[in-house]
Structure formats: C-alpha cells, structure tokens
Chain A
Amino acid sequence: MIPEQQQERASLYALDALAGAERDAFERELRASNELRIFVRELQRSAGLLAMTVPQIRPPQELRSKVLERVKSESDAKTTDTNPAGFRFADAADPSG
C-alpha cells in the first residue's frame, strides 16, 4: 500500500508539478519501488488521457515533412555522439535478443 503522502507526490509528478529537489527526491523513490512505478505509470496514462479531452485537431499535412526535414538538416549539421551516456531503457526488450 502506497502511503498517502507518496501518492500526493506521485500525482504531482505525473502532472509535472514537482520541481527541483522534490522532483529529484521522488525519482529516487521511484527507482527504488516497483509498486510505486506501477502506480505512477497509471497516473501518467491518466494524465495522458487529459490531452485527449481537448478538441482533437489534425496537424497540417505539410508539418510532417517540415519536422522531418528540420531534424535531418540539424542532425546533418551537427557532430553528435551517437551513443550518449545516460541511455536507459530498463523495461524495453534487449535488441540483441
């Protein structure tokens, strides 16, 4: 059972309403508890549904090509590290498997 105060922090976190040190501290709690991670994911999915409650407007067709062209030109122009540190996909399938 998740304590009420932790539920409060989880709810704020799911709405991005925690900031600074409080956010960092909560993320440490999150990494330490599978039960809390499940709870937060459900809250985040609920928050995601809030985005569906506004009028759904289709982006203009040309926006897709603008986005992809802009990303292409910026990535071509930039020398990037293709495997930066901090890459974490804890729950994703192992691509080598």
Chain B
Amino acid sequence: MGRANWASSCGRTHQVMLEPKSAEQHQTELLRRIAAQDHQALADLYDQLSGPLFSTAIHILGDQREAEEVIQDVFVQIWNRAASFDSELGVPFHWTLGITRHRCIDYLRARQRRTRLLDDATTETEILSRPAASTSAHDALSEGELARVRATVQTLPPDQKQAIELAFFGGMTHQEIAETLGEPLGTIKARIRRGMIKLKESLKAYV
C-alpha cells in the first residue's frame, strides 16, 4: 500500500507517525487551547494520543486497571500543565509520553511499597492477554508500518536496545542504567547515543 493511501486509510493516531511535523503543529495548537481551558481541545488530544499512551502504560505496568488510572492522571496533568509545554524543548507527543512514563513509574514504586508493607500478600496484576486481532489498534496504524518500525528496533545490537529500553520503558537515568548493568557510565552514554542515532537514521521517513 502506498504511503498516501495508507495515510488516508488510517485513523486518528496515524498523525503521530506519518506526518510528524503537521501533527506536531496541530498538537501544539491543541495544547495552547488546553492551556486556555478549552475542553474540546483536550478531547481532541485524547482522541489522537490515548491509544499509544495507553499501550505504553500497559506495557510498563502489565495491568489494565492501573493503566486506565494512569491515563486519567495523565490527562489531568496535561490539563493542568499544558501552559508549561515548551516547544523549544521538544515535541508534544514526546512530552505527553514523558508524563505517562513518569506516572507509570510512580505506580510501580507505589506497588513495590504496597507489596513490602503487606509483606506476604500477593499483589495480583492483571496481565493482559494480547491477541493481536482483538486488541491491536488496526484503525490507527498499518500493521506493515508497525512491523517495519519493530523490525528496525530489533536490528539494534542487544546492548544498545537494552540500554534504550531501560531508559524509555524503565524510566531510568543513565546513572541508574550504568549501576543496574554494572557498566561504566561512559559506556552507557555511548551505547545509547549509537542506538538512538541508528534508530533516527533507520526511521528517517517518520522523523
């Protein structure tokens, strides 16, 4: 399927991937309106971004109920903090992802505290079964494009992929990654740089 046809067949979140610059301008405008207390703008932003944010939250937490709570918290934070979004420092989707990942890490830490407090109590997590046909966002992204992005990530050397994933999904700083992996800080920095630049070059069509 051609890029244009693919784009026209996709739903709301395709803007995140396919036309990053125009989607970013639109999302920046939505954040400006949200900062001015425009509820419709928040609804529009939710329609554009809730899918990938929710999927990320489930991936980090492994628990749908917690992911739903996180998404509620995230959009409340977006509502309250939209005025602090600074387009000189980044792009809107990345900003909302950052809020989501930080909120997930808060939940994970709270869960660990709860587990410690309850000592032998078991914290049951509702791990989602992930049958592709029933849960994939087929209306949002082409499976072919998703597969291409996933395949690109898989081509990263394992040490680079691991360091990037610990930062992105684990919410770790480079110092924490170095400590976790028992590697020198300089090694971790170089690993992340090489991996991120490889991703950027390989995914040039989308960035």
Contact = CB atoms under 8 A, between A and B. Distances in A.
Contacts of B79: 71, 74-75
Given A71-B79, A92-B25, A63 B72 contact: yes
Contact of B193 (A4, A41, A88): A4
B16 A48 contact: yes
Q: Is the interface of B mostly helix, strand, loop or mixed?
A: helix
A28 to B, nearest CB: 11
Given A17-B167, A55-B59, A56-B136, A70 B76 contact: yes
A46 B53 CA distance: 15
A25 interface: no
Nearest to B100: A51
Given A44-B90, A44-B94, A95-B32, A7 B206 contact: no
Given A72-B39, A87-B84, 8 more contacts: A46-B200, A50-B168, A56-B137, A67-B76, A68-B42, A74-B76, A87-B35, A89-B32
21 contacts: A8-B193, A11-B193, A11-B196, A15-B167, A18-B173, A19-B173, A37-B88, A41-B90, A43-B197, A46-B196, A46-B207, A47-B94, A48-B91, A53-B153, A57-B137, A59-B68, A68-B42, A70-B76, A87-B83, A90-B87, A93-B25
